[in-house]
Amino acid sequence: MKIRTLSFIIPTLNEANNITITIEAIRDSIKNLKYEIIVVDNGSTDETLTISEALGADTYMEPNATIARLRNVGAIHSSGQILCFIDSDISITEFWEKELSIFLESHELDELYITGSRCILDPSDESFIERNWFSLLQDSKSKYINSGHLITTKKAFNTISGFNDNLVTGEDYDFCQRAKNLGISIIENKNIEAIHRGYPKSLRQFFLREAWHGRSDLSSFQNFISSNTAIISFLNIFSLLTFIIGLASENTTLTIAGFATTLLVTISFTIKKFGILPPIQLAKTTFCSYIYMAGRLYSLFFKRNRPAARV
């Protein structure tokens, strides 16, 4: 398959502080391949669109749409054979084009695949939550490619019928699951690196981020029972409530049972997600795991817009 154009598709909402860095990173990295940049805006009230247009991006407006819809609109207006979905706080790296070109050459005869990688962190600006959660995710196994840095062919995208417009979050997981059902390959490629500048810096931001992402799992009973994370999160909070009730009623059995179950579930979840860790690292990441699960359960009450520190 001869590659004519890469289409970078970037959804935005009030990203005036981010979009310049994101677009300039593309322009600095891509030297040999032809490309276009498409910004699909969700109704920004700042200078996002003005800046994007000044930097040469094709811009479109789609107010009050889901992020899945924004990505789909970008794909509709794209002319490239390769669709590169990135978020507005993502910087592709210096060797991104070279590594993508190597991948494309090795899959020249294949037009049905999804690739990309989990974004790396900027090592010069890591917070507690980034060091002890997000940095470890880079080595963990995943069943899907995150849509903040997802690359696929136009043919594959159309075969899958794009992202599900109705999903407020979790559109990338759904996209990849439907791809698998159609026999489309999911190929993570860690050599195609991108830096995520928008990871949460505080525990509060992390909690709210997971409350946002957990909304899909708790949107219906079917989604709930299909999500191991949702079930484990519920079990963990139930164990904590048992511990609190035990303390309040001075029931030693309930107190010990609740505390032990909470600790066991959280540690088991951490090991399942990240593997065996050194004791100090395990303690720190287990703490992060509890915040993660608490945020996921709080999705039941989360009514706010997408938090600033996101995927």
pLDDT value at residue 71? 98
* Torsion sign over Cα 93, 95, 98, 99: negative
pLDDT value at residue 302? 67
Which of 40, 41, 47 minimizes the C-alpha distance to 20?
47
Does the structure show a pLDDT above 60 at 307? Answer: no
- Give me the chain's average pLDDT, please: 90
**Per residue in 51-91, pLDDT tens?**
999 999 999 999 989 999 999 999 999 999 999 999 999 99
H helix or E strand, kind and range, residue 93: none
pLDDT band of residue 310 (cuts 50, 70, 90) is: very low
pLDDT value at residue 311? 37
Does the structure show a pLDDT above 70 at 305? Answer: no
pLDDT band of residue 270 (cuts 50, 70, 90) is: very high
The pair of three-digit structure tokens given for residue 45, joined into one six-digit string: 């009230």
Question: Once rounded to an integer, what is the mean pLDDT over residues 14-36?
Answer: 96
Does the structure show a pLDDT above 50 at 273? Answer: yes
Question: Once rounded to an integer, what is the mean pLDDT over residues 247-251?
Answer: 91
Question: Once rounded to an integer, what is the mean pLDDT over residues 156-167?
Answer: 96
The pair of three-digit structure tokens given for residue 96, joined into one six-digit string: 């991104």
The pair of three-digit structure tokens given for residue 74, joined into one six-digit string: 């970008």
- Cα 301 to Cα 137, 221, 293: the distances in Å are 27, 16, 14
Q: Tell me whether strands 113-116 and 185-188 are parallel, antiparallel or unpaired.
A: parallel
CA 7 to chain CA centroid, Å, is 20
Instruction: Report the distance separating Cα 39 and Cα 11, nearest Å.
Output: 6
Beta bridge partners of 36: 7
Q: Within a 10 A sphere around the Cβ of 86, how many other Cβ atoms? A: 25
Return the CATH fold of 6-196: Spore Coat Polysaccharide Biosynthesis Protein SpsA; Chain A (3.90.550)
**Per residue in 101-131, pLDDT tens?**
999 999 988 899 999 999 988 766 678 998 8
pTM for this structure?
Answer: 0.82
Domain ranges across the chain: 6-196, 203-301
Which of 203, 207, 173, 166 minimizes the C-alpha distance to 292?
207
**Per residue in 191-238, pLDDT tens?**
999 999 888 889 999 999 888 888 777 767 777 777 888 888 888 888
Least confident of 14-28, 80-94, 285-299: 285-299
Instruction: Report the distance separating Cα 208 and Cα 161, nearest Å.
Output: 31
CA 38 to chain CA centroid, Å, is 20
Instruction: Report the distance separating Cα 57 and Cα 20, nearest Å.
Output: 11
Least confident of 1-10, 101-110, 177-186: 1-10
